[in-house]
Structure 1
């Protein structure tokens, strides 16, 4: 049984996608506690935008946004070759693993620290490593809930928009359905997190303004990553073979060979 699985290239590919998808999502959640300045990263002055009555806005983002765009690239690739059921499967797998990780984080925070660990941290310039550990891994519950809800809802939106466009354009214009579905789902993702996690602290104007700044960044990255989708698609077709790739795309759309040929993606 396992030998047959390991010999089947589409199956091996899906297992690899699932592993990367879940690992990337978990890392993004773990590093999301750190905020960084996009302007400082590129050595430019703060944007100082004014949106919804909020002035002095800049691109202050969580480190998680460095990895989340790859999740949507993977979603579009899996959607293209395996269909929406496969996307839902890996999305739920990621949510379960992330929830498990956060449970372990919280449990380890409350485990009594060893004296030798506390003492050794002072030599590294960390006055209280237990407090540092708690601050890094102890994200607020509403932030966690908001992040997971936003992730699942945006995945559903991404899949829906992707297939809606694909039904209208056929198998041409991969860039349109991939980028278009990401732009819509990222808008949903940006605001769900803020509404759930910060509605009790921020005004509606602040939420709208901060959400739009996040969305501008995500839109820009989504457009820049469009060539990567074509690169991955080409590598997949080379790996599994053109005919197998064509069959995979048919199956992803719920079609059969008799329902027509697939034109080359454009």
Structure 2
């Protein structure tokens, strides 16, 4: 049975793309707790853009490094395996993300060994258990916001992709992939921050101080500007992946499964 699966090229490709998709989605959620300065990372002064009366520099969640990849992978999978393929992997990724954070909470609740707590003092970490809790113990509303944004973004990405492809056929790969990504990323960027930092803290007292509407909007716009630029830059990568898949499957088989994907 396993031998049969690994010899079937479309099935083997789906497993490969699916694993990469799910892995990137989970990693993006985990690393997203870090906020980094884009300007300092590339060695330029902060932009200090005036957005909604709030000075904005590109201080972004580390998750933005991978979310554009996730949405591009969505379009590649959509191209060859259709809506059902993307939805299956999206629901699987969301379930595994939830499972990941559930396991984090279980690990956080374990009583730490005394020697381990002070084991990293030479690395300026006086309490390893406290650091562990802070880094892995994301608030429930952050998780809710992130999962909601991810699923809604995936649904929109699939819908926009198929609408554009029905209008353009096999032409303009860049339009259906980049266009659907830009729409889904717009919703994803705004929804996650509104739920996690505007709504959540106002509903639950233990979620930290709520962000102002102006702050949420300015950071949302800044995040989307970054994702917009990355989506455009990644366009050649989309063509490279398409060419690699076409070469792997062969022209006739690739055309056949793409035609079948449009029916599902």
TM-score by length of 2: 0.94
Alpha-carbon deviation of 1:117? 1.4
Would you say how many aligned residue pairs link Structure 1 and Structure 2?
A: 254
Deviation at 1:174, TM superposition (A): 0.4
Q: Quick one: distance in 1 between partners of 2:126 and 2:115?
A: 13
Quick one: which of 226, 242, 260 aligns to 2:235?
226
What RMSD, in angstroms, separates the aligned Cα atoms of the two structures?
1.1
Matched residue, 1:57: 56
Which of 224, 236, 242 is the equivalent residue of 2:245?
Answer: 236
Alpha-carbon distance between aligned partners in 2 of 1:43 and 1:9, rounded to the nearest angstrom: 44
Q: Distance in 1 between matches of 2:83 and 2:235?
A: 20
Task: Work out the CA distance in 2 between the residues paired with 1:126 and 1:42.
Answer: 27
Residue by residue, what CA displacement relative to the aligned partner does 1:104-160 show, whole Å, maximum 9, x if unpaired? 101111100012212422344321000000010011110111000000000000000
**Equivalent residues in 2 for 1:235-254 (5 A)?**
235-254=244-263
Paired residues for 1:131-142 under 5 Å: 131-142=130-141
> Where do 5+ consecutive residues of structure 1 fail to align?
256-266
User: What is the distance in 2 between the residues matched to 1:125 and 1:59?
Assistant: 27
2:45 — aligned with what? Answer: 45
TM-aligned CA distance change 1:123 to 1:209, over 3 Å: closer
Distance between the aligned counterparts of 1:227 and 1:41, measured in 2? 24
CA distance in 2, matches of 1:80, 1:43: 38
Which runs of 5 or more residues in structure 2 are unaligned?
203-209
- For residues 66-124 of structure 1, the C-alpha deviation after alignment (integer angstroms, 9 at most, x for no partner) is 11111011001001111011000001111111101100101111100012212422344
Work out which of the residue numbers 193, 197, 202 in structure 1 matches 2:211.
202
Secondary structure of the equivalent of 1:133?
helix
Q: By how many angstroms is 1:219 displaced?
A: 0.2
Q: Deviations over 1:189-210 (max 9, x none)?
A: 0110011011141222222211
- 1:26 matched to 2:26? The reply is yes
Q: What secondary structure sits across from 2:120 in the alignment? A: helix
Provide TM-score, normalisation by structure 1. 0.93
Structure-2 residue corresponding to 1:260:
none
